[in-house]
Amino acid sequence: MSSKKSRLTTLFTYVCLNKFIISLSSKQTSDLKAQRPTTSKVTAFIEKFWQLTIISVALLPLSSLSYAELSSAVITDQTAISDELSGKKSGETSAAKSPEVLTQKTTLKTRWNTIEASGKNHSVYFHAWGGDPQINSYIQWLAKRVKQLHNIDLHHVKLTDTSEAVSRVLAEKSAENHQQGQVDLVWINGENFASMAQYQLLAKGWVAQLPNFSLTNPSENEAMTRDFGLPTQGMEAPWGQASLTFYYTPTHQSNEFNFAQHSYQESIQHAPKDVQQLLTWAEQNPGRFTYPKPPDFLSLSFLKYALIALNQFQTEQIKSGLYQAVTPLSQAALLPVLWRYLDKLHPNLWHQGQYFVASGTALQRLVGDGEINLGFTFSAAQIPASVARYNLPENTRSFVMQDGSLSNIHFVAIPYNAANSNSAKVVANFMLSVEAQAKKQQAEVWGDSTVIDVSQLPSPQQLLFSTNKQSPSALPISSKIKALSEPHPSWSKLISREWLKRYGAQ
């Protein structure tokens, strides 16, 4: 017993003296840093090393500690000194083992376990666009999985436009319904996110609670926390990302041209490759192209792509206005070129631009019926899937414009008054899981690109995201996509409003 007490006393004395020397040396090192250049750090380190060694040797004869035990303690203190000299805080080099970090992780895990437990056995009303059969089918799969895993009933409330959900939550807030909202989770981005954030309709700070959010590597990927350039402030969890993809059915369908025997480039050689070629192609093929009417999401995506591409000749200062809130000056500098372009394009559209379809689904139907030869989508996998269902001709080919492809990340959000917010968090966390993200990326399922940083995953999980042999109608993996960032949300409102003024009666 006395031996054990002696060891503890000696160790306590050693630690106190060691810490005293480290503190003293730290002050001296600070003085050295102030008086000498950075190269003197080595000298300061040597001074500290010898001070610690002297103390250690002095204590050694009095201690029942082994030399190995004492050496280990010295090395630990030397590591602390090395951290200090390199400008790091104590414990930073072993953050993964830091008690503070471990405590934080334990707290987060405990908090999530509480959320997960309270989220089970409830219903979640997921308000999401319902215009794509593939996406609807995937959401049905999500519903089955969260039912199996958490006994959560996920109901897909199909929307024609996401603004319907925005209006519903705003009406509930006006009616002072602050706790029993009918929208638990909403698929959202861009203008609708900006509106809900502006009117404080979204729950804040919940995304960091999701264990699977870390899979997106947000600290290294700013896009995961910004929506059309706006900080998400923890109000949205990323779900997927996509780029504007065009699809084309060649006009020459004679038996002399066998698409199976020709290369991809040969099969799209007559398709337009940029926004100016699109105008030329429309003039040469009148009535064979159109686009949906604003404020349809796909329509605005096409118009924003054209706006950016047509202004690429502008100075960087002028172009930067696209990524800031619209001002009278930026509107005057950037918007007129779009109207001049559309004035030339519209007479060559389907029905001479006198009538516009309402959605991307209707646009694809025109291609499938052979009324037009060119369409576009934000769901690239939709094309081969539609070909497989015989909704599009077998010779349909996908491509991206060489002057850029509008690209964005789409998110899910929880309204501030959601009736089952914890259940919605559990669903959102599963949506970010490797299982759900890999399933979603499969071309035959949805083909929506994952938001997970796959490079950070173990090799077996990375294989889940590998792509099998593609359909000839799919966008080739080798396609080089020049990503165009989404403009500030205020541009969508402006374009939609001004378009309706100019062409709305048509």
In the three-class reduction of DSSP (H, G, I as helix; E, B as strand; rest coil), residue 241 is classed as strand
The two structure tokens encoding residue 97: 């083992």
Give pairs for 323-332: CB < 8 Å, separation 24+: 323/229, 323/485, 323/487, 323/488, 324/488, 325/488, 325/490, 326/488, 326/490, 326/491, 326/494, 331/494
The two structure tokens encoding residue 412: 């899910």
Instruction: Report d(CA 240, CA 188) in Å as an integer.
Output: 11
Label residue 225 exposed, middle or buried (CB < 10 Å: 0-12, 13-18, 19+). buried
53, amino acid identity: T
pLDDT band at 444 (very low <50, low <70, confident <90, very high): confident
DSSP β-bridge partners for residue 157: 127
The two structure tokens encoding residue 419: 């009736």
Q: Please say if the pLDDT value at position 138 is more than 60.
A: yes
pTM of this prediction?
0.67
Other C-beta atoms closer than 10 Å to the C-beta of 151 total 12
Write the DSSP symbol of residue 353: G
Give one DSSP letter per residue of 250-269, joined into a string: -S--STT--GGGS-HHHHTT
Give one DSSP letter per residue of 406-464, joined into a string: EEEEEEEE-BTTBTTHHHHHHHHHHHTSHHHHHHHHSTTTT-PBP-S-GGGS-HHHHGG
pLDDT for 263: 57
Q: Please say if the pLDDT value at position 367 is more than 90.
A: yes
Q: Please say if the pLDDT value at position 377 is more than 80.
A: yes
The per-residue pLDDT of the chain, averaged, comes to 81
Q: Please say if the pLDDT value at position 21 is more than 70.
A: no
In 3D space, the residue among 473, 445, 449 whose CA is nearest the CA of residue 134 turns out to be 445
The two structure tokens encoding residue 378: 């934000």
- Residue 4 has phi, psi (to 5 degrees) of -65, -40
Going from the C-alpha of 152 to that of each of 89, 121, 284, 438, the distances in angstroms are 44, 5, 54, 21
The domains located in the chain, with CATH, are 2-97 (no CATH), 105-239+409-478 (3.40.190.10), 245-408+484-503 (3.40.190.10)
pLDDT for 250: 84
pLDDT for 388: 87
Instruction: For residue range 321-354, list pLDDT tens digits in order.
Output: 999 999 999 999 999 999 999 999 999 999 999 9
Please tell me the number of Cα atoms within 13 Å of 445 on its side-chain side.
Answer: 19
Q: Please say if the pLDDT value at position 275 is more than 80.
A: yes
- Residue 434 has phi, psi (to 5 degrees) of -60, -40
44-53, 225-234, 259-268, 361-370: which has the minimum mean pLDDT? Answer: 44-53
Give one DSSP letter per residue of 41-71, joined into a string: HHHHHHHHHHHHHHHHHHHGGG--S-HHHHH
Q: Please say if the pLDDT value at position 44 is more than 60.
A: no
- What's the whole-number mean pLDDT along residues 216-239? 92
Q: Are 363 and 298 in contact (CB under 8 A)?
A: yes
